[in-house]
Amino acid sequence: MTDQNAPLQRVLVIYAHPDDPEFFSGGVLAKWATEGKHISYALATSGDKGSDDPEMTAERLIAIREAEQRAAAACMGSDTVIFLRYPDGELEHTLRLRRDLTRLIRQLRPDIVVTNDPQTVWTRTGGINHPDHRAIGEAALAAIYPSARDRHTFVELWRDEGLAPHKVRRVYLAGTLDPNLRVDITAYLERKIEAISQHRSQVKDFEALAKRLRESNDADFESEPPIYSEAYRVLSLR
């Protein structure tokens, strides 16, 4: 039985690509790392499509981007980074993906899962959300409930692998158009930028990006110095 009063200490970050954790959630992850939470990362793909260099191969890019993600996780004090190595750009909410995520949830037994809001098709700035982001959010939510909770869903995980059911207590959906929580990350902005800086294969002009991030303070808070935030749809589960 899950103790609903126990502190939320174990975090599992489930995203589609290397660099998604940092861009979507780098501030809250830095905050939680400072508070002593244990953070694990699961990436459905290794970002093998993320290059416009005609000389780059998928194999080389996988090696580069996996190393970058491990370095970014190290900025948060984490050495638990798991790559499922599904093809980049082709992610779908399949039973296989849901089973893989259910397995990870039962193995790592997180209190909190952070993933994408699968309902976000377009962004507030007029962009189109990557279909991999929608797919991983949908699969992660289905793995959290009911698959990880129910003993006889993917019964082979319990029967053959000895993985007991697990109930996640809280879900943070990033990239949402319907937030119910805004986290003040002002004190952690530079740590978020440091983690993003590890993804050099994806950022052609890092100094320009860092400048934009430092100028992107929360306009709803008119304060000096400025306040920076990340917005989430938070689900509290019983």
Cα 186 from Cα 175, distance rounded (Å):
18
pLDDT at 225 over 90: no
Q: How far is CA 232 from CA 15, 42, 79, 116, 119, in A?
A: 15, 19, 25, 9, 13
Hey, what domains does the chain have and what are their CATH numbers? 10-236 (3.40.50.10320)
Cα 106 from Cα 96, distance rounded (Å):
15
pTM of the model: 0.94
Least confident of 2-6, 39-43, 109-113, 172-176: 2-6
Tokens read off for 25:
């959630």
pLDDT at 202 over 90: yes
Tokens read off for 51:
């290059």
Which amino acid is residue 37, in one-letter code? K
Tokens read off for 186:
């002002």
Cα 59 from Cα 64, distance rounded (Å):
9
What pLDDT sits at residue 157?
98
What pLDDT sits at residue 216?
85
Residue 6 pLDDT class (50, 70, 90 cuts): confident
Cα 125 from Cα 5, distance rounded (Å):
39
Average the pLDDT over 147-158 and give the result: 97
Tokens read off for 139:
């699969």
Average the pLDDT over 200-205 and give the result: 92
pLDDT tens digits for range 52-102: 999 999 999 999 999 999 999 999 999 999 999 999 999 999 999 999 999
pLDDT at 218 over 80: no
Contact 30, 234 (CB under 8 A): no
> What share of the chain has pLDDT > 90, as a percent?
90
